Structure 1
Amino acid sequence: MSIFPKSAFGQTVFLVAALLLINQVVSYITVSLYVVKPTIEQVNLILAKQIKTVFIDWEDGEEVSDKVSSKLFEITGISIMNQRQAMREGLGQAREYSMLSRSMSEQLNGSARVRISQTDPLVYWIEAPQAPGYWVRVPLTGFKENNVEFLTFYLSSIGFLSVLGGWLFARHLNRPLKELQHAAVKVGVGDFATKLEERGSTEVIEVTRAFNQMSRGIAALENDRRLLMAGVSHDLRTPLTRIRLATEMMADEEDYLREGIIYDIEDMNAIIDQFIEYLRHHKREELALEDLNALVAEVVHSEQKHQRTITFSEDPAIPNIPLSLVAMKRVFTNMLENAIRYSDGDIAVSTTLSNDKKYAIVTVKDSGPGIPESELESVFEPFKQGDAARGSEGSGLGLAIIKRIVDIHGGKVKLVNRPEGGLSAQVFLPLK
């Protein structure tokens, strides 16, 4: 799994954060090497000179008198203690620094040890080679640990504020792209009313302007197509009505011919209805919370007129979900009519909840010949019909209408060939 974000917003923030992190690390190292370290070394050098002064006449094995120690403390604030006294004063809690010990050893021409107590004030503990077993306690009132803490806090704060600023900048920069994404989704389901405000960078403004122009073009094309189909359907229905009237006046001995003509007229009217239904848009704002089980049960009941065994099992746990009753009734009617047309056996209809509890699923199972696996996706295209095994009746718009309406509801359609034979058609509808 890649840690690099895939979105433009995430990539921008990641890039800003990475650059700032590198900058902070370099700044911290630079300050440490060229500010803090020289300062500490300078302090160490000054202390080494003071130690040399203290032990200039020191002889190995000589004891430090209380008078000398007291006088030294009075003048410089520096104390000389033996191991026991030093431990009592906090030597045991002091941390030893090897770098400072090496530097001090070079200055004092011998093996020296340096420890620092992180107290207020900061305390240097030095064991000079001239007096092994004795520790020189040097309080540093002008050099506190808080100075280093403040540097760390400063660098961390600058880094945090910089990343926050980069995040806000990237969010502002990508907001028009997010709006463009939402608008594209709406256009995809037939809502052309959204007009995006042209704002942001020059490139984003150009993309937004092109999108608005494309949306207007598609809307005009849809209106022209709807108007054309309405005109064609009207012009076709008029002669069909005349033909129907003419058949009613045919002689009784021509009943066989009249029935065939009437059947063809009804079939043509059904095809025209499918054309109009395919062009009709069911807007998202028309959706309302409805009882899915009741709607499916109503459709199943109305299709019992075909004298076929249709069983229905419902899941009572399905809550009311946002639906367009008229549109979804058309979907379930088309599904059942397809199952009835392309199969001879029993039909099973059911409603269930998906495993993730995000979708309500309506399933229609038949025992027909099914659809070749290679055509399971293409049958949703307009005017595309399945394998000849399922016949070639109708306009080829039934499944296209189902998919368009379900897409508008934010759902999905799935066709699966059943292992025991037949087709399983499933409609997934979001619960929210």
Structure 2
Amino acid sequence: MRLLPKSAFGQTVLLIGMLLLINQVVSYISVTYYFIHPSYQQINSLLAKQVKLVFLEGHNLTDSESRKQLYQATGIRVYDQYQAQQNGLNNSIYYQFLSNEMTQQLGGNSEVRVASGDPYVFWIRGPHDRNLWVMVPMIGVRNTDISPLTIYLMVIGILSVAGGWIFVRRLNRPLKALQQAAFQVGRGHFPKPLKEEGSSEIRAVTRAFNQMSKGIKQLEDDRALLTAGISHDLRTPLTRIRLSTEMLPDDQQWIQQGINSDIEDMNEIIDQFINYVRQDQQEKVETANINKLIEEVVKSRDREDDHYIALELDEIPDVEVRKVAIKRVLDNLLENAFRYGGEQVTIRSGYNKKARMVFFELRDHGPGIAEDQIENLFQPFAQGDKARGSLGSGLGLAIIKRIVDMHSGEITLYNHPQGGLVATVCIPASKSKSNYQSNPNSE
């Protein structure tokens, strides 16, 4: 179990709290040693002098009249053991520290007890007569549950920690906004320039981030414009070539078919380029059920007799997605599975309650991919050439990765132990569905 916080906010608050705790302990010890301890010594010295006065030679402490005169003059009473017990000795508390001090003051074994009340009462038994107790009232000493010193230190500590917490929170607020903006830029979204606030260092970092975000957006816009222009310019000569093939004589139809097939491949590659730069960000986010999207995509492929799709769909909660984009993910994964993995594909869905993630996975029954190539497959123009051929532009999985990242999800590829490649896509479930009870068999 990790007790130390990982965030700078938590570490700073913990550091301030530890320093304040050490300061409080040192202050408490210092005040006790330099103020409270001397005060108790002075009180003990005063009590010892009063006891010595009581036991001065010539005083008859057994005479009730003498005790009465002593009480009227000083407020001090002298009791024997029985009388002391009758007048509250049993309700007093023995203090070792005061007793040791009193022993040194009186030059013999002494005992000091204190009874709380209004006023405080000190019971002292000196070395002169062990059967006599001297009761000395201390007016002005009050009983409190928590000493003023402790209350003072607690208030100072709470105010200091609260002030440190407010300071660190104000310091971390622009960092948190910077973190969220960085996540958005990483997913292809470009937020408005962040407000420059906080310390001078954080202002400088925020200013640099705004410039970086602006530069990345400009690069993305230029790339999209360039790709769209190239794609448009390529389609025009391809269309002319297609029209020209229509003029070939009947005995050269095989040439026409070959050219048209190449044109279709080129159009498909152009479409992939356009899809890669578009990122489907214009589509509206909606609440949808992944199972229904899977069924719609599978239904559109029912017309292909040579393909078989097995469905293993568990009950899952709804998610916030761009439906057309997710259907494109499913369709691209199915296309790759049929192209490289054979005629049979299995689609499975479920809900991971612990991680609050809805997932679906597609498994083909092909040769799979070498483990050292899987990590790079999501890079643009990367292909698993050695195991699965080299058709296409290599943008299919890169497009899928962008769409999944746009949904704050994850996509992974791994080889199934019994053969074939498995693609797993996880998407966070809607917050409103957090109380959903998952299937016991789901992961």
> TM-score if structure 2 supplies the norm length?
0.92
* Equivalent residue, structure 1, for 2:426: 428
How many correspondences in the alignment? 429
Counterpart contact for 1:114–1:127, Cα < 8 Å: yes
Instruction: State the Cα distance separating 1:148 from its structure 2 match.
Output: 6.2
* Equivalent residue, structure 1, for 2:120: 122
Q: Secondary structure at the match of 2:175?
A: helix
- Residue 47 (1) aligns with residue 38 (2): no
* Equivalent residue, structure 1, for 2:154: 156
Q: Distance in 1 between matches of 2:12 and 2:61?
A: 69
Seen in structure 2, the aligned counterparts of structure 1 residues 190 and 369 have a Cα distance that, compared at 3 Å, is same
What aligned pairs does 1:240-251 form with structure 2 within 5 A after superposition? 240-251=238-249
- Residue 255 (1) aligns with residue 223 (2): no
* Equivalent residue, structure 2, for 1:171: 169
Instruction: State the Cα distance separating 1:315 from its structure 2 match.
Output: 1.9
Q: Secondary structure at the match of 1:305?
A: coil
* Equivalent residue, structure 2, for 1:350: 348
Counterpart contact for 2:361–2:423, Cα < 8 Å: yes
Seen in structure 2, the aligned counterparts of structure 1 residues 177 and 152 have a Cα distance that, compared at 3 Å, is same
* Equivalent residue, structure 2, for 1:370: 368
Seen in structure 2, the aligned counterparts of structure 1 residues 133 and 377 have a Cα distance that, compared at 3 Å, is farther
Cα deviation 1:254-313 (Å, max 9, x = unaligned): 222222211111111111111111111334983111122111110111123332110112
Q: Residue type matched to 1:267 in 2?
A: D
Q: Secondary structure at the match of 2:62?
A: coil
Q: Distance in 2 between matches of 1:48 and 1:298?
A: 98
What aligned pairs does 1:110-259 form with structure 2 within 5 A after superposition? 110-146=108-144, 149-259=147-257
Q: Distance in 2 between matches of 1:334 and 1:111?
A: 97
Counterpart contact for 1:372–1:387, Cα < 8 Å: no
Q: Distance in 2 between matches of 1:290 and 1:54?
A: 95
Q: Distance in 1 between matches of 2:116 and 2:257?
A: 106
Q: Give structure 1 stretches of 5+ with no counterpart.
A: none
Q: Secondary structure at the match of 1:126?
A: strand
Seen in structure 2, the aligned counterparts of structure 1 residues 80 and 286 have a Cα distance that, compared at 3 Å, is farther
Cα deviation 1:151-209 (Å, max 9, x = unaligned): 10111111011100110011011111111111111111111132100111110110000
Range with bigger deviation, 138-147 or 346-355:
138-147
Range with bigger deviation, 234-243 or 127-136:
127-136
Q: Distance in 2 between matches of 1:224 and 1:420?
A: 46
Q: Distance in 1 between matches of 2:112 and 2:283?
A: 77
Q: Secondary structure at the match of 2:144?
A: helix
Counterpart contact for 2:360–2:426, Cα < 8 Å: yes
Q: Distance in 1 between matches of 2:85 and 2:275?
A: 94
* Equivalent residue, structure 2, for 1:84: 82
> TM-score if structure 1 supplies the norm length?
0.94
Q: Residue type matched to 1:313 in 2?
A: E
**Correspondent of 1:393 among 385, 391, 394:** 391
* Equivalent residue, structure 2, for 1:338: 336
* Equivalent residue, structure 2, for 1:278: 276
Seen in structure 2, the aligned counterparts of structure 1 residues 372 and 193 have a Cα distance that, compared at 3 Å, is same
* Equivalent residue, structure 1, for 2:434: none
Q: Residue type matched to 1:342 in 2?
A: Y
Between the aligned residues of both structures, percent identity stands at 50
Q: Residue type matched to 1:68 in 2?
A: S
